[in-house]
């Protein structure tokens, strides 16, 4: 998953905020999804996370990430690295007692024509649903999505079920779609995605002041 971001203070509104964004999903031995163009999800996740971090810092936020390189949150000798990694990510989030968490991912599907960003949330979280809608709206608008997708509840993702604070998973696009996969590896498009996510996050944060 994606590294944690801790936002403690926003100078423009003299507002004390505490929310987190999970460490860029995947890392180390787990590349995540592989695009039709050979791109690895973990690299795209981290690239977008770093751009998002920079944008938030420019807005006056203090940002801390749990993963800023190519590594996972597991022990090399562990027999189930993915499970240990997920558990440790949840623990890091809960230890911080954040207002909310955003996890960056890339999607994939058997039908190559399917494309577009989509945000997932836990069905039992009203605030998670509101956060998801805020980010989905800015993604659809700012990326000028031809066929806008809707937010979707998901009760199977471990990170959504096991995190105490509101959390969403942002699937930025489909690596199985040739055009979108090529867009997602470009600096320009990654910056547009990061900007849209940032605006959705800030819009939600303002709504709960």
Could you tell me the CATH number of the domain that includes residue 124?
3.40.630.40
Of residues 71 and 93, the one with the higher pLDDT is 93
pLDDT at 30: 52
Q: What is the mean pLDDT of residues 139-168?
A: 92
Alpha-carbon torsion (55, 151, 119, 114), positive or negative: negative
Look at residue 18 and tell me if it is in a domain: yes
Asked if residue 133 has pLDDT above 70, the reply is yes
2 is a domain residue = no
Question: Is residue 64 within 8 Å of residue 96, measured between CB atoms?
Answer: no
Confidence of residue 95 (pLDDT cuts 50, 70, 90): confident
The band of 127, judged by pLDDT with boundaries at 50, 70 and 90, is: very high
**Report field, pTM of the whole predicted structure over 0.85:** no
In a domain, 100, yes or no: yes
Q: Comparing 145 with 24, which gets the higher pLDDT?
A: 145
In a domain, 161, yes or no: yes
User: Which pLDDT band holds residue 88 (cuts at 50, 70, 90)?
Assistant: confident
Confirm whether 165 is domain-assigned.
yes
Of 165, 124, 118, which is closest to residue 21 (Cα–Cα)? 165
The number of distinct structural domains making up the chain is 1
Contacts of 76 (CB under 8 A, 6+ apart): none
Contact (CB, 8 A) for 189 and 179 = no
> Which domain range does residue 121 map to?
7-207
Tens digit of each residue's pLDDT (9 = 90 or more) over 28-57: 445 578 888 889 998 999 899 889 888 888
């Amino acid at each position: 998953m994606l590294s944690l971001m801790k936002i403690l203070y926003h100078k423009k509104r003299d507002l004390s905020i505490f929310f987190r964004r999970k460490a860029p999903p995947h890392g180390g031995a787990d590349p995540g999804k592989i695009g039709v163009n050979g791109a690895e999800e973990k690299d795209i996740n981290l690239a977008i996370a770093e751009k998002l971090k920079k944008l938030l810092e420019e807005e006056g936020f203090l940002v801390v990430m749990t993963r800023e390189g190519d590594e996972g949150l597991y022990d090399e000798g562990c027999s189930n690295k993915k499970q240990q990694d997920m558990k440790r990510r949840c623990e890091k989030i809960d230890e911080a007692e954040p207002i909310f968490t955003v996890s960056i991912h890339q999607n994939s599907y058997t039908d190559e024509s399917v494309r577009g960003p989509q945000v997932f949330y836990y069905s039992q979280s009203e605030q998670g649903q509101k956060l998801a809608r805020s980010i989905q709206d800015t993604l659809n608008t700012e990326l000028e999505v031809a066929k806008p997708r809707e937010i979707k509840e998901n009760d199977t993702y471990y990170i959504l079920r096991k995190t105490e604070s509101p959390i969403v998973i942002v699937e930025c696009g489909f690596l199985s779609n040739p055009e979108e996969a090529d867009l997602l590896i470009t600096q320009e498009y990654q910056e547009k995605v990061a900007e849209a996510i940032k605006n959705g996050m800030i819009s939600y944060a303002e709504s709960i002041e």
